[in-house]
Amino acid sequence: MLSPWLSRLLIAAILATAFVSPGAEAFGADDPEYVKICDPILGKCKYILKSEIKKAAEEKTTPGKPAAKKAKPVCEFGGAAQACTDAELGNWSNRQQCYLQRLTPQPPESDPVWAGHTDGSIWACAREQGYDEGRHLVTRWVWLPGEPDTVVTDPVTLAYRAVAAMQLAPPPIKTAPGAGQIGLVKMPVWLWVTRSENTWGPIVRSASVPGLTVTATAQVKAINWSMGDGKTVRCDGPGTAYAKSFGIKESPDCGHRYRKTSREQPNCKYNVAATADWEITWQSTLGDTGQISMTQQAATQLRIGEAVPVLVDPSGDQVSVPPAKDGC
């Protein structure tokens, strides 16, 4: 499936490759394999591998005719099969004949490796050589104007990259009574979280390398509230926000009642933790699918007391109030 940006520029890109001259601004002098394509609507430019433009053109289908199933990319080193990913070195590039990883942080602009370029990025190009004792790696730095032709046959790598782009965050906790207030034993405690795209979902993000795109969708399925008294409350939704008009009613979907005060707890408060269970599904343009489970946790504290009886002398002369215990 082509990205909307690439689809919109496909015709322009094909024309650009057809009419680019050797000295033109298509990186002919620096890297003839990349073509600079600009979007007149967005006013943005991008460097794209010629091979990807050709591949995109071949993927255009005739209306009413199903698209042919893509063949999975193959990694090769000198014509021999090569592992496409390495946990330490990155992803294999058939063109560079090495594993590529973008340097983080990037070298300063004064570094000679930039060769005068002010765009693009610097990549570590590493390859294992020799098969005697030990592992011998040869690494060089290369400048590339755009994304490399790295082959990632395991789309899980891209799935996690898409999830990282979501910037999922812990659920913002809300309770009634709230932190700083005092609840009462056997009285309702309301629990809920504030929803946003990256704290509840659904949220969709994609990650791509030339020839492969993975799209991930994340959604919280439930919140597990650890109430600090040995009880756990599982809420399938975000909960209902409390309003004064509800009085002492119980939450309709996410609440708790404490049976004991928090007097014996550290700082006289129950430690409460809310853990969001994220369900993440992903699908690649090669037809692969999968699921990822992830949790995010936030915490607060609740102080729970008990109603104090007040003894009133019928004559109206004295009022007796039991003393507070243990300083709570």
Three-state DSSP string of the chain? CCCHHHHHHHHHHHHHHHHCCCCCCCCCCCCCCEEEEEECCCCEEEEEEHHHHHHHHHHCCCCCCCCCCCCCCCCEECCEECCCEECCCEEEECCCCEEEEECCCCCCCCCHHHCCCCCCEEEEEEEEECCCCCCEEEEEEEEECCCCCEECCCCHHHHHHHHHHHCCCCCCEEEECCCCCEEECCCEEEEEECCCCCCCCCEEEEEEECCEEEEEEEEEEEEEEECCCCCEEEECCCCCCCCHHHCCCCCCCCEEECCCCCCCCHHHCEEEEEEEEEEEEEEECCCCEEEEEEEEEEEEEEEEECCCCCEECCCCCCEECCCCCCCC
- Shared-domain flag, residues 76 and 203: no
What is the domain count for the chain? 2
Residue 79 and residue 112: Cα distance in Å, rounded? 33
Yes or no: say if 238 and 252 are a contact pair by the CB < 8 Å rule.
no
pLDDT tens across the length of the chain (328 residues): 444 444 444 434 433 333 333 333 333 335 666 666 676 555 666 666 655 555 555 544 445 555 445 555 688 888 888 888 776 788 889 999 999 988 989 999 999 999 999 999 999 999 887 655 666 889 999 999 988 887 665 788 889 889 999 999 999 999 999 988 999 999 999 999 999 999 999 999 998 876 789 999 999 999 999 999 999 999 999 999 999 999 999 999 999 999 999 999 999 999 999 999 999 999 999 899 999 999 999 999 999 998 776 665 666 555 454 555 556 6
0.85 exceeded by pTM: no
Tokens 């002098």 appear where?
Answer: 29
pLDDT at 82 (0 to 100): 84
pLDDT at 104 (0 to 100): 86
Is 101 a member of any domain?
yes
Is 16 a member of any domain?
no
- Shared-domain flag, residues 81 and 114: yes
Is 40 a member of any domain?
no
Residue 319 and residue 323: Cα distance in Å, rounded? 13
Tokens 């090769």 appear where?
Answer: 76
- Shared-domain flag, residues 213 and 277: yes
- Shared-domain flag, residues 234 and 192: yes
- Shared-domain flag, residues 186 and 299: yes
Yes or no: say if 287 and 213 are a contact pair by the CB < 8 Å rule.
no
pLDDT at 158 (0 to 100): 87
- Shared-domain flag, residues 167 and 303: yes
pLDDT at 146 (0 to 100): 85
Is 43 a member of any domain?
no
- Shared-domain flag, residues 107 and 133: yes
End-of-domain residue from the set 112, 144, 176: 144
Residue 127 and residue 95: Cα distance in Å, rounded? 13
User: Which amino acid makes up residue 146?
Assistant: G
Is 7 a member of any domain?
no
- Shared-domain flag, residues 159 and 116: no
End-of-domain residue from the set 144, 167, 183: 144
- Shared-domain flag, residues 89 and 220: no
- Shared-domain flag, residues 214 and 260: yes
pLDDT at 53 (0 to 100): 52
Cβ neighbors of 248 (< 8 A, separation 6 or more) are 187, 188
Is 103 a member of any domain?
yes
Structural domain harbouring 88? 67-144
pLDDT at 316 (0 to 100): 55
- Shared-domain flag, residues 165 and 289: yes
- Shared-domain flag, residues 240 and 272: yes
Q: What is the CATH number of the domain that holds 169?
A: 2.60.40.10
Is 303 a member of any domain?
yes
- In sequence order, the β-bridge partners of residue 183 are 304
- In sequence order, the β-bridge partners of residue 80 are 77
End-of-domain residue from the set 124, 144, 164: 144
Is 118 a member of any domain?
yes
pLDDT at 286 (0 to 100): 86
